[in-house]
A and B are shown apart, each in its own frame.
Chain A
Amino acid sequence: MLSIHNLHASIDEKKILKGINLEIKPGEVHAIMGPNGSGKSTLASVLAGREDYTVTDGSVTFAGKDLFELSPEERAGEGLFLAFQYPVEIPGLSTTNFIKTAVNEVRKYRGEEALDAVAFLKLMKEKMAMVNIDQSLLSRSLNEGFSGGEKKRNEVFQMAMLNPKLAILDETDSGLDIDAIRIVANGVNKLRNKDNAVLVVTHYQRLLDYIVPDVIHILYNGRIVKSGPKELALELEERGYDFIKEQFKAEA
């Protein structure tokens, strides 16, 4: 589904991604871990199509298409979803109205008819129950004055509404207490099926107790320095990132 080959990217001449290789198949959950500043969010942003970053080398195919030929909104239309580490606020724009626009734009891209008010409401109700989000939150301005947990839950709700092929969760656990993490993780788990995939980006192992990955990759200094089964997370938890840093400093 997603195939990243030798990806290099930089911002303002500064090299951040230095040759990433990654292969994700339908039904899989991958986790990317790594110390702060290693390039996790950069990878997520480059995949989603943020303009600030320049891809200097490598290629990415997504759902059989050259990802870099597609605009950010086309990537969303193809089924790529990014749950942002820092969701933005848009004052005056109701969350519901925003999501309705998003759902219908994506449907339009896929050649499907727009949902009418009744069908949309029905879909909302169903997904609200799934990710345990409150109606009152959705009638407020998009993310404005939302707590950290509410913002993250709103991201997962949007994911549920858009039903993506590949969801990238960028530190969706950061700033959440354990109950909130469980709720968010539950939502994600309910959305998993054999046709979609999830890429979980996290700094801590604890989210992976709830969203159990098939593979864990350790990103350090713009490269995936180690990949392994879910037990790798426990090793990291025990030994900290320092052992990774020690081991790979020479190559960095």
Chain B
Amino acid sequence: MNNELSAIEKTVLSDYKYGFVTEIEADEAPPGLNEDTIRFISAKKNEPEWMLEWRLKAYNHWLKMQEPNWANIKYDPINYQSIKYYSAPKQKKKVNSLDEIDPELRKTFEKLGISLDEQKRLSGVAIDAVIDSVSIGTTFKEQLAELDIIFCSISEAIQEHPELVKKYIGSVVPITDNFFSALNAAVFSDGSFCYIPKGVRCPMELSTYFRINAEGTGQFERTLLIADEGSYVSYLEGCTAPIRDENQLHAAVVELIAHENAEIKYSTVQNWYPGDKDGKGGIYNFVTKRGICQGAHSKISWTQVETGSSITWKYPSVILKGDYSVGEFYSVAVTNNHQQADTGTKMMHLGKHTRSRIVSKGISAGVSQNSYRGLVHVGKNAANARNFSQCDSLLLGDKCGAHTFPYIEVKNNSAVVEHEATTSKIGEDQIFYCNQRGIDTETAVALIINGFAKEVMNQLPMEFAVEAQKLLAISLEGSVG
């Protein structure tokens, strides 16, 4: 059997095509974290007093917390005093519309395949672009405003819609939740905010595009999305970063609130710089994402395609509070070279007749480690709760690892919880079969992994499915053959 995968084992660096740096002057905070840093950020953003107090409370709580160490990941200790917590690209003047954005910035996004020009945008996608710490602009604002949909940066929301922000921020992920979310609450610099009013179906995909540009910075964005009764929204986030040989910290928080009969579909295509083939550099992606199905018959669906970051630590979760609410988690996580991913979900069944579905597809290559970690909790009042989990792992070569940690806690005996798991390898015979039909090995691997991940890819909004498929293939480039 030794021979069988020999061709698959040669791992070389795949090219990370988003690794350029944009030369833009930045307005930055000096490295280090203390109360002054937080006051600096809050002042820069002209925040109301309550926001500053909330941040300081989070900071003081964070000081007492321990960095978590239970995940199946290894990294050198992070020096929180060497990170710059605020970096904003310096705009010549305040912009009133997207047309006035610094041409360098505009070029950055063009290079990433994102046009901020509304006419040129993919039809039906509104974009909020966040570079380093600040949002640089949101497209399609007027069209959305006609439906009373609010889609803007969270900084703007704090100014313009303080009552909504105050009501919901920290309501799903409290500042005391965990080490990284507390840090985020203290220093978050921007992110997206979205509110869909009662009974409104958002007519276009909403999307935020995150980009880390400056050196030595951390990125701490915070996203808050509220779907009021009977509304619907589909939201997508994408992320990239330049190639740097230092590790950069990304500690985001996403909170979703779905009221009665509302539905939120949240998709992520995460492609932060993964580090080089020897494991040097790359983003530490330590993210807390959680949604609450607050009202009856509400639904939250997470879909993620995770190909980047040197380390990923994230568990998009759903609290199924409303009766008959539904939570879904569809994930493809690819690790290559020295990448490590510990990702999964938590489905917290609290309401009656709540249902959840978990489909996790892990693909590992090189010497990477890929773990699924999931919790299905059924509370004592959650009569007739249902969960189905499917966790499949695909290995390329035999130096990588796939691990599955499913935790199940059931406190109501009418619950039905099912879990299935498989592990398989891409076989030399599958590749040879493709080769014999004229298909080269790279393309063959792309076909095989896209087949493996299909159930998840099918969940992505159509506009992004093709991109995501290409991304899967690119992240494994050179790992076979």
Contact = CB atoms under 8 A, between A and B. Distances in A.
Contacts of B448: 90, 93
B450 A93 contact: yes
Contacts of B451: 90-93, 141-142
Interface string A75-112: 11100011010011011110001110110011001000
A68 to B, nearest CB: 15
Interface in B407-459: 427-430, 432-440, 443, 447-448, 450-455
Given A51-B7, A93-B451, A88 B438 contact: no
B438 A90 contact: no
A52 interface: yes
A158 B433 CA distance: 12
Contacts of A92: 450-455
Nearest to B449: A92
A93 B439 CA distance: 14
A82 B451 CA distance: 23
A48 interface: yes
Contacts of A106: 437-438
Given A51-B428, A52-B3, A91 B436 contact: no
Given A90-B448, A98-B447, A84 B433 contact: yes
Nearest to A79: B438
Interface string A131-143: 0000000000110
B3 A105 contact: no
Contacts of B435: 49, 71-73, 76
A25 to B, nearest CB: 23
B447 A88 contact: no
Given A88-B427, A158-B437, A50 B443 contact: no
Nearest to A101: B439
Given A88-B427, A141-B451, A162 B438 contact: yes
B436 A48 contact: yes
Assign chain B's interface to a size class.
Answer: 20 to 34
A82 to B, nearest CB: 5
Contacts of A77: 438
A102 B437 contact: yes
B430 A90 contact: yes
Contacts, number: 79
A105 B439 contact: yes
Contacts of A76: 435-438
Contacts of A71: 435, 440
Contacts of A51: 7, 428, 432
B438 A73 contact: yes
A105 B447 contact: no
A82 B447 contact: no
Interface string B1-22: 0010001000000000000000
A133 B434 CA distance: 21
Chief secondary structure at chain B's binding surface? helix
Interface in B194-244: none
B116 to A, nearest CB: 32
B427 A162 contact: no
B103 to A, nearest CB: 37
Contacts of B434: 98, 102
A115 B427 CA distance: 29
Given A88-B427, A93-B448, A105-B443, A72 B453 contact: no
A152 to B, nearest CB: 14
Given A50-B432, A51-B7, A72-B432, A90 B447 contact: yes
Given A51-B7, A87-B433, A92-B451, A109 B438 contact: yes
A51 B3 CA distance: 10
A29 to B, nearest CB: 21
Q: Could you say which of B7, B436, B452 has the most chain A C-beta atoms within 10 Å of its C-beta?
A: B436
Contacts of B443: 101, 105
B429 A72 contact: no
Q: Could you say which of A77, A81, A88, A99 has the most chain B C-beta atoms within 10 Å of its C-beta?
A: A88
Contacts of B433: 84, 87-88, 90
B258 to A, nearest CB: 30
Contacts of A97: 447
A99 B436 CA distance: 12
Q: Could you say which of A12, A91, A92 has the most chain B C-beta atoms within 10 Å of its C-beta?
A: A92
B436 A82 contact: yes
Nearest to A105: B438
A4 B10 CA distance: 33
Interface in A195-241: none
Q: Could you say which of A75, A105, A141 has the most chain B C-beta atoms within 10 Å of its C-beta?
A: A105
Contacts of A82: 436
B439 A88 contact: no
Contact of B429 (A88, A102, A105): A88
B232 to A, nearest CB: 28
A71 B429 CA distance: 15
B478 to A, nearest CB: 17
Contacts of B438: 73, 76-77, 102, 105-106, 109, 162
Nearest to A77: B438
B390 to A, nearest CB: 13
Given A51-B7, A98-B447, A91 B437 contact: no
Contacts of B447: 90, 93, 97-98, 101
A50 B440 CA distance: 13
B295 to A, nearest CB: 35
B437 A162 contact: yes
Contacts of A52: 3, 428
B467 to A, nearest CB: 18
Q: Could you say which of B7, B443, B451, B454 has the most chain A C-beta atoms within 10 Å of its C-beta?
A: B451
Given A90-B448, A92-B452, A101-B447, A73 B439 contact: yes
Contacts of A73: 435-436, 438-440
20 contacts: A48-B436, A49-B435, A51-B432, A52-B428, A72-B435, A76-B435, A76-B436, A84-B433, A84-B436, A90-B448, A90-B451, A91-B451, A92-B450, A92-B454, A98-B437, A98-B447, A102-B434, A102-B438, A105-B439, A105-B443
Interface of A: 12, 48-52, 71-73, 75-77, 81-82, 84, 87-88, 90-93, 97-99, 101-102, 105-106, 109, 141-142, 158, 162
Given A73-B440, A101-B447, 6 more contacts: A73-B439, A76-B436, A90-B430, A93-B448, A102-B439, A162-B437
**A-B residue pairs, 8 tightest by C-beta:** A92-B451, A93-B451, A76-B438, A102-B437, A72-B435, A106-B438, A92-B454, A105-B438
